[in-house]
Every structure is written in C-alpha cells, then in structure tokens.
Structure 1
Amino acid sequence: MAVAIFIFVIDIATKEAVFRTFALRESMALTSFLNLGHWLNPGAAFSFLSDAGGWQRYLFSALAVAVIVWLGAGMLFNDALTKTLRTAFALIVGGAAGNLYDRIARGAVIDWIDLHWAGWHWPVFNLADCAIVAGAITLASAQVPNTSKNEKSAMQN
C-alpha cells in the first residue's frame, strides 16, 4: 500500500508543479527528444474519447474507482499473492488514483511529458501513466512461466 500512496503523492505533486509553472499547452524543450509542458486530456490513454463531449469523464472515473477498489481492497491484502504481484497492483492502484484525482478536481488529466523524435511525438503522458504501464508490464511478466525452472523440474522427473 505504501507504493500506491507514494505513486499517488508524487503524481499529484508533479501535476501541481506543472499546473503552477506552465500555462495550458505551453511547453519547454528539456532535451532534443523531451519537452515538459501542460496539456489536459479529458479522455483515456492516447486521448481515447477525448472529444466525446464530457460523459467519458464519468465513465473513466467509474472505471478507476472499480480498479482501485478491486485491486486495492481485494488483491493488495491477499497474503497468497507474491510480492511481485502486490507491487504490480500497487503501481496500477497508485496511478489510477492519481488520474482519478485529476478527473474529479480538474475534469481532465494533466499530462506533461512529451517524448519526440524526428518530428514524431509519442502521446503526452504523466507519472501516473508510467506507474500504470509499469504495473501492467510487471503483472504480465509475472505471468510468464519460468521456463528454466520448469525445464529443471521436467529433467528431474
């Protein structure tokens, strides 16, 4: 749970710093491939449904609450889960909570990290998004069977 709280606090702090530092749609080049700035995303990942008229705010908020409750209450305190799975769930819960806070407080999620290369820009994102992706990757990698362990077990039989 400490990991989820840490992600939430850091995400909100960075978004608040962006809100206070940059005007909306203002950006600053940090490197040749990284800009920092202030963008609002009323949609989901990759601005999915960002122009849907406002109802998506409630849909994505409800989905975030469901994920937080299901993973937070149902999974983080399950002693049968490995530390890796609990960490994956905590990353997802912390990120979902950070973006949910934005949807409730601002009506849209603040995105501020803009990666680009040769004129091509990755969709702008934030730390909550990074935590959710890291949690999903950790969760997926934990589901991949350890073939070397399985091969050793098969050889011994």
Structure 2
Amino acid sequence: MKSNKFVRASIIIIILAFNIGCDQVSKSIARKDLPDNKVIGFLANHVTLEKTENTGAFLSMGDNLGGPVKYVLLMGLPLLALLGALVYIIIKTDITKNTLLGIIMVIGGGVGNLYDRVLHGSVTDFMHIDFIIFQTGVFNVADMSIMAGMGIILVDSYLKRREEKRHLVVEE
C-alpha cells in the first residue's frame, strides 16, 4: 500500500518536473534568442514569435496595480492555489487519471509562470496565433499547459457526468 502511494507521488513529481522544465527551457531560449521588438512569422504570419515581458496576469490584467495589492494578487494567491492543488492531488487518490493529469498540468504551468515572476519580475511570453476568427494574446508554454490541463479536466468531468446519467437511466 505504501509503495503505491510512493509510486503515485513519484509519478506526479516527475510529470510536474517535466512540465515545468519544458516551460523554463522554452522561456530561456526565447529570452536568449528572440530579438527585442521583432516579430518572426510562420505560416503566412498566422503563427508568430514575439518576445514580451508580461508584468500582469492573463492578457496583462493587473499590470497597472501597484505595491502589496499586485504582490498578493499575482504571487500570494496563485502560490496558495498551487499549494492547495498539490495537497489535493497528493491526498485525494480516487480522482480519475485524466483529471489528475489535468490538475498536474495546471499546477506545472502555474509554477512555471510564478517562478518567472519571482526570478525575473515578469513572465516571458513569446507565441501568438492569429487565424482571423481565432486569435490569441501572446502566450508561453506554461499558459498552454494551464489551458490544456483545464480542457482535460472539463472534458473528463463532462464524460464522467454523462456516464453517471447513463447508469441512472439504466437503473430506473
């Protein structure tokens, strides 16, 4: 029994480390190799690389806040949420593997961006997608991890509820 918990915790840590590592390597490359104030386009400029430093949160929200309010909203609350999520996935062993993976991805992306905020004072973003009807802000690998993780959690939740409804109909 204890060995299963150890294996599970080890797998969680390995996936988290890989997730955070991929994010940090990509940001390091962007900081080092992408020139300032230059956009590099691919696929007829529908996908571009453009290094920016985001001192706010998602889409630079909170960028204009100052002092302790900005610190609490952009560092304190995310740190508490990430720690809470980590404790949750370590303690709660009956969640589905897909939901577990989704939460790990959200934590990994959050840690990657929080690490940037602490170490660099901002988060390095460098990718942008613009396919006319689908357009993003400038983002990074951590943001992709957070969004993919949330997507996995939502799809898994939907499928689980659908399965539960199907069992209720069969039992009636």
Q: TM-score range by the shorter chain?
A: 0.7 to 0.9
Residues 100-115 of structure 1 mapped to structure 2, 5 A cutoff: 100-115=114-129
- Aligned alpha-carbon RMSD (Å): 2.2
Q: Among residues 137, 148, 153, which one is paired with 1:123 in the alignment?
A: 137
Deviation at 1:105, TM superposition (A): 1.0
Partner of 1:36: 49
Residue pair 1:43, 1:57 contacting (<8 A) in 2 also: no
Structure 2 runs not aligned, ≥5 long? 1-11
Deviation beyond 6 Å, 4+ runs, structure 1: none
List per-residue Cα deviations over 1:57-112 (Å, max 9, x = no partner).
Answer: 55211122112211112224421221112111100110001001110111010001
Structure 2 length-normalised TM: 0.80
Structure 1: gaps (5+ residues) = none
Matches within 5 A, 1:23-62: 23-32=35-44, 33-53=46-66, 55=68, 56-62=70-76
**1:52 Cα deviation (Å)?**
2.5
Which residue of 2 is the match for residue 155 of structure 1?
Answer: 170
1:58/1:38 CA distance change after superposition, 3 Å: farther
CA distance in 1, matches of 2:168, 2:74: 44
Distance 1:71 1:149 in 2: 25
- TM-score for both structures, normalised by structure 1: 0.87
| Distance in structure 1 (CA, Å) of the matches to 2:72 and 2:16 | 22
Percentage of pairs with the same residue: 21
- Go from structure 1 to structure 2 and tell me whether the alpha carbon gap of 1:52 and 1:149 turns closer, same or farther (over 3 Å shift): closer
Greater percentage in helix: 2
